[in-house]
Amino acid sequence: MSRKVEFYYDFSSPYTYIASTRIEKICEDSGAELEWKPFLLGGVFNEIGSKPAIEIDNKIKYLKEDFERVARYFEADFNFPNLFPLNSVRSMRGAFAAAEQKKLVEYSHQMFREYWVDGVDLSKPELLGEAVSKVGIDPEWFLNRIGEQEIKDKLREETNTAIERGVFGAPTMFVDDKMFWGNDRLSFLERYLNGEG
């Protein structure tokens, strides 16, 4: 039986976007199954009392340069959006709606690109609707679905589960009983999958 890598992600995180361009190949090369796990990063911050980088002047100044540097290194298309941070609640609820259409992975890649490459404000329903139409999901159905309590509850439950498992940021990956946090730890995840530590 192959190992399973659980990939906790939120569209608002630039390092998670970069990790999303790498994680599939790492799992494929290692013979691991990849499970995409949408959750709400802001909900985690609120629960554990963590400050987002945007609220720390010295940190965000550095990170804006670092995002560009890391994206270039991994050859990921990247344009820092005019709107930052993204209110990702609607788009993250949308991941569960997309999963019902068996389009979770395609949807996730598209939303990451919409925000981190094209700078689309995915918090706006009309723009989110346009974005989901690109992956073959009916926008009217989608926007109605993400407003339903069942979908809201799914995102809340997944976020609470992430907190219970020790998640404090994104991206976070789990394999076996090991947790790996951050795009810069994907190499350690890969080594672990390959039995190297």
Q: What is the Cβ-side half-sphere exposure of residue 59, based on CA atoms within 13 angstroms?
A: 6
Q: Is residue 13 flagged as an active site residue?
A: yes
Pure H helices in 31-103: 41-48, 57-73, 89-100
Q: What is the Cβ-side half-sphere exposure of residue 4, based on CA atoms within 13 angstroms?
A: 7
Which residue out of 13, 20, 30, 91 is catalytically annotated? 13
Catalytically active residues are: 13
